[in-house]
Amino acid sequence: MPWYKVYFSLDDIATGTHIRLQNRFETLFLRRGKPAGAAMFGNGDAKDDYTYSFSPPCAVFCADMFAEFAASECKAPVPQSIIWLAGDVGARGAIPR
């Protein structure tokens, strides 16, 4: 299963759209019983890029959220370039190096 990403513009960040995304993800994650490996990550250097990444297990329960926020499939992020935001805290260790 692929990774997914959502990109926000500076205007989106200014209006708090990224907070709505994180809150929505956390709600879905908890409703699904905290599925192993499902997590949301942010770019570690947000001053240049407002991309949020979602591990493959998220595809099982985040389809509607992905459609709402125009998520697209992507490669796994480089582990050193992201920070964990929500979900399974152990998911970062599963990112291929």
Tens-digit pLDDT profile for residues 6-56? 999 888 988 999 999 999 999 999 999 999 999 999 988 767 678 999 999
pLDDT in tens, 59-71: 999 999 999 999 9
CA distance 62 to 25: 7
- Considering just the CA atoms, what is the radius of gyration of the chain in Å? 12
Q: Do 40 and 25 touch, CB atoms closer than 8 A?
A: yes
Domain boundary assignment for the chain = 3-87
Model confidence pLDDT, tens digit, residues 71-92: 999 999 888 888 999 999 888 7
pTM score of the predicted model: 0.90
